[in-house]
Amino acid sequence: MKINTATFVISNTDVKKCPQEKIPEYAFIGRSNVGKSSLINMLTNHKTLAKTSNKPGKTQLINHFLINKEWFLVDLPGYGYAKVSKKARSKFQDLIYDYFSKRLQLVCTFVLIDSRHTPQKIDLEFMQFLGENNIPFSIIFTKTDKIPKTKVTKNINVYIKSMLEYWETMPHYLISSSVDKTGKKEITDYIGGINSSL
Ligand code: GTP
Ligand code: MG
C-alpha cells in the first residue's frame, strides 16, 4: 500500500477527546526511544510529522495522524522511561492503559522492540497485558541498521524463544530501520492487507 497523504490531526492527554471517526486505527507503542516517532516519519515520507529526539520521553501525548484520508496512525508516549518523576511516569502509564482499554477502533497495535537488545521484562509484560485484553498486536524489531544482519536474526530467534514461554505461537513480526527504510513496504502492505480485510 502506498501512503499518499499523511496529516497531523490532534494531540491529546485525554482518550475521550481523541477523534471519533469510525475508521481503522493503528498504534505504535514501545519503550521510550525505541523509534516509534521515527518509524511513523519513515513510513509517511515525512521528516518531522512526528516529533523525535535522541532523549527518551519525547512523545508525551496521544498523537493522531490521518493517512490517505482513510485510517489513523497513532504515536504514543513510550513506557519504561526511568528519568521522569514517579508522578509523571504514572500519568503516562495511565494514559497508555486508558488508550488501550477505551479505543475500540484500534485494529492493530505495533509493539516496537529494539532489535539490539535481549528480551526485556517490561515489553513482555506489556504484550501480556495486550493479550489479556484481547488487543491484537504485531511486533516490529527496530533499528536494524545498527547491528549486522546476522545479529538481527540471532536476536530475533532469542526473542521468539522467550515469547514461546508464554504464547502458544509467535505473534506476527516485522523488522525496520528508519535510517535505511527497511520494512517500509512490508509494514505498509501489512496495514493495507488488514484494511482491505475489514
Ligand atoms: P519517545 O517518544 O521518547 O517514546 O521515543 P520514540 O520511541 O518515539 O523514539 P524516536 O523516534 O524519537 O527515536 C529515538 C532516537 O532513536 C532518535 O535519536 C532517533 O534518531 C533514533 N532512531 C530511531 N529509529 C532509528 C533507526 O531505525 N535507526 C537508527 N540508527 N536510529 C534510530
Ligand atoms: Mg516518540
> What spacing in Å lies between the alpha carbon of 84 and ligand 2's midpoint?
15
Q: Is residue 1 part of a domain?
A: no
Among the bound ligands, name the one nearest to the CA of residue 177.
1
> What spacing in Å lies between the alpha carbon of 53 and ligand 1's midpoint?
7
**Cβ neighbours for 63, distance < 8 A, ≥ 6 positions apart:** 8, 10, 11, 50, 74, 75, 76
Q: Is residue 70 part of a domain?
A: yes
Q: What is the pLDDT of residues 146-188, one digit of tens each?
A: 999 999 999 999 999 999 999 999 999 999 999 999 999 999 9
**pLDDT class for 94, splitting at 50, 70, 90?**
confident
Separation of alpha carbons 112 and 91, rounded Å: 21
Residue 89: its pLDDT value, please?
Answer: 67
Task: Judge whether residue 144 has pLDDT over 90.
Answer: yes
Residue 83: its pLDDT value, please?
Answer: 64
Q: Which atom of ligand 1 is nearest to the CA of 56?
A: 3
Per-residue cell: 138:
504485531
Contact between residue 119 and residue 111 where contact means Cβ atoms under 8 Å apart: no
Separation of alpha carbons 36 and 9, rounded Å: 17
Q: Percent helix, strand, coil in the chain (nearest 5)?
A: 35, 25, 40
Ligand 1 binding pocket includes 33 (Cβ within 6 Å): yes
Q: What is the pLDDT of residues 28-86, one digit of tens each?
A: 999 999 999 999 999 999 999 999 999 888 888 999 999 999 999 999 999 887 666 77
Residue 90: its pLDDT value, please?
Answer: 73
Ligand 1 binding pocket includes 115 (Cβ within 6 Å): no
> What spacing in Å lies between the alpha carbon of 52 and ligand 2's midpoint?
5
Q: Residue 53, Cβ neighbours under 10 Å: how many? A: 12
| 25-30, strands of its sheet edge to edge | 6-12, 62-67, 71-75, 25-30, 106-114, 137-142, 173-175
Among the bound ligands, name the one nearest to the CA of residue 30.
1
Q: Is residue 172 part of a domain?
A: yes
Q: Is residue 71 part of a domain?
A: yes
Residue 80: its pLDDT value, please?
Answer: 80
Ligand 1 binding pocket includes 178 (Cβ within 6 Å): yes
Q: Residue 44, Cβ neighbours under 10 Å: how many? A: 21
* Minimum CA distance residue for ligand 1 atom 20: 54
Ligand 1 binding pocket includes 52 (Cβ within 6 Å): yes
Q: Is residue 142 part of a domain?
A: yes
> What spacing in Å lies between the alpha carbon of 168 and ligand 1's midpoint?
31
Based on the structure, what is the number of domains in the chain?
Answer: 1
Task: Judge whether residue 191 has pLDDT over 70.
Answer: yes
**Domain encompassing residue 22:** 6-197
- CATH number for 52: 3.40.50.300
